[in-house]
């Protein structure tokens, strides 16, 4: 078994470890959100961590009713003209904690006297040392280049912050059930997969998602792209309709991520125009109306609250990316030209 599949299977255990060991750290970090001078959140991240940041943008924005923005690291590292961060809580998300540009943003924030929080899997990393507070991811060692358990635990850390910042007993109870739901999703995705052979020779794919799963769409696209080499891009339904849909020709595969919840109807609305263009639809959903109109059905575990659905919705995408790479005869653990830790400035 590849490292990738082994680590994919370890995700429920890793998520449970995070919840068991870091609830107190999450409560401490959540206090930063209640400072009277916080007017917005600023997140620095790269790669898969930026897809976690998209989840945080929705979840933490809803929780605190403040804007959640993404940092522009080049202003800090290349141009040497960082913005004034008055009123900001600055969050760095990096699985390795080694990305110099993410560290630079948090270092500047501390120099300006702003509160900082790091979400990282390495508590001895430069990012952890630069931050005022640290929420360890507890994912354990991850050897495969493509992130799986560190990604899901990063989502779990954001969800922990949401639950603890609001002191929400319902959210805590729903969160506590997620390791079991994740285990069921992995079992479903690995042991009852649809055939994917027809996509073996595809040159690319499009992924469509919205709301709390907007980041899920980007993460699925990233996994397919880095493992199989297929040119894969993610869009919201609105962004796809504003021009990029013109590139969807007959036979082009489109993955539609549409779990139950408020965002699902607007994602479902994109299905008729895609079918009219002859797209091969791949549905990631627990909704029969969505699944029955798809050529390929990737079933989601039912009963997962929408705010937590990114933790399970990404799994069919991870498995699909893994299977496509295997069908194309590629090395799952060493994608061509990629490294586990990418140092960017």
Output the pLDDT for position 186.
98
pLDDT of residue 338: 67
Mean pLDDT, residues 321-335 taken together? 91
Under 8 Å between Cβ of 311 and 155: yes
Give me the pLDDT at residue 344, please: 67
CB distance 307 to 275 below 8 Å: no
Average pLDDT over residues 65-75: 95
The stretch 336-341 carries a mean pLDDT of 65
pLDDT at position 12 is 98
Report the C-alpha gap between 345 and 86 in whole angstroms: 24
The architecture CATH gives domain 3-176: 3-Layer(aba) Sandwich (3.40)
Strands 253-257 and 296-299: unpaired
Strand ranges inside 88-218, DSSP E: 88-93, 116-120, 133-136, 204-208
Domain 189-327 has CATH 3.30.70.980: no
pLDDT value at residue 18 = 98
Q: Over the stretch 142-182, which tens digit does the pLDDT of each residue have?
A: 998 889 999 999 999 999 999 998 888 999 999 999 999 99
Per-domain boundaries in the chain: 3-176, 189-327
Instruction: Please state, in angstroms and rounded to a whole number, the distance separating the CA atoms of residues 7 and 146.
Output: 10
pLDDT band, very low/low/confident/very high, at 342 (cuts 50, 70, 90): low
219-251 pLDDT per residue, tens: 999 999 999 999 999 999 999 999 999 999 999
Is the CB of residue 324 less than 8 Å from the CB of residue 228? Answer: yes
The pLDDT mean for the chain works out to 95
Assigned token pair, 48 = 């898969």
pLDDT at 340 over 60: no
For residue 345, the model assigns a pLDDT of: 64
Residue written as token pair 């869009």: 235
For residues 309-322, average pLDDT: 97
* DSSP sequence for 143-162: -SSS-SHHHHHHHHHHHHHH
* Percent of the chain whose predicted confidence (pLDDT) is above 90: 91
The dihedral through the CA atoms of 10, 11, 12, 13 has a sign that is: positive
Residue 60 pLDDT: 94
Dist. CA 11–CA 152, nearest whole Å: 7
pTM score of the predicted model? 0.96
Q: Give the pair of three-digit tokens for residue 270.
A: 């994109």
> Helix axis angle, 149-165 relative to 169-176, nearest 10°?
160
The answer on pLDDT for 265 being more than 60 is yes
Whether 192 has a pLDDT exceeding 90, the answer reads no
What is the mean predicted confidence (pLDDT) over 42-69? 94
Starting at the edge strand found earlier in the chain, the sheet holding 116-120 runs 68-70, 40-45, 88-93, 116-120, 133-136
Question: Band of the pLDDT at 343, cuts 50, 70, 90?
Answer: low
| pLDDT tens profile 101-140 | 999 999 999 999 999 999 999 999 999 999 999 999 999 9
Same fold, 3-176 and 189-327: yes
């Amino acid at each position: 078994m590849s490292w990738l599949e082994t680590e994919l299977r370890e995700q429920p255990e890793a998520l449970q470890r995070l919840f068991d060991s870091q609830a107190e750290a999450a409560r401490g970090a959540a206090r930063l959100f209640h400072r009277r001078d916080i007017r917005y959140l600023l997140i620095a991240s790269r790669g898969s961590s930026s897809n976690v940041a998209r989840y945080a943008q929705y979840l933490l924005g809803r929780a605190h009713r403040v804007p959640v923005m993404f940092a522009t690291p080049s202003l800090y590292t290349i141009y040497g003209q960082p913005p004034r961060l008055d009123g900001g809580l600055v969050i760095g998300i990096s699985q390795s904690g080694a990305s110099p540009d993410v560290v630079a943003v948090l270092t500047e924030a501390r120099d300006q006297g702003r509160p900082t929080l790091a979400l990282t899997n390495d508590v001895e990393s430069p990012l952890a040392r630069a931050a005022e507070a640290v929420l360890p991811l507890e994912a354990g060692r991850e050897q495969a280049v493509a992130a799986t358990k560190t990604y899901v635990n990063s989502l779990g850390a954001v969800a922990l912050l949401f639950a603890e910042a609001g002191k929400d007993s319902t959210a805590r109870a729903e969160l506590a059930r997620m390791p079991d739901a994740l285990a069921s999703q992995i079992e479903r995705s690995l042991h009852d997969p649809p055939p994917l052979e027809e996509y073996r020779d595809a040159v690319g794919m499009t992924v469509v998602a919205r709301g709390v799963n907007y980041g899920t769409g980007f993460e699925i696209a990233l996994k397919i792209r880095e493992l199989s080499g297929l040119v894969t891009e993610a869009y919201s339904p609105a962004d796809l309709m504003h021009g990029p849909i013109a590139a969807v020709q007959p036979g082009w595969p489109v993955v539609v991520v549409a779990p139950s919840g408020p965002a699902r109807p607007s994602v479902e609305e994109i299905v008729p125009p895609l079918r009219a263009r002859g797209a091969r639809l791949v549905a990631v959903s627990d909704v029969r109306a969505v699944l029955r109109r798809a050529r390929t059905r990737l079933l989601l575990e039912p009963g997962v609250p929408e705010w937590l659905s990114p933790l399970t919705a990404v799994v069919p995408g991870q498995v699909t990316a893994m299977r496509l790479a295997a069908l194309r005869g590629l090395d799952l653990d060493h994608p061509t030209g990629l490294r586990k830790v990418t140092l960017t400035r």
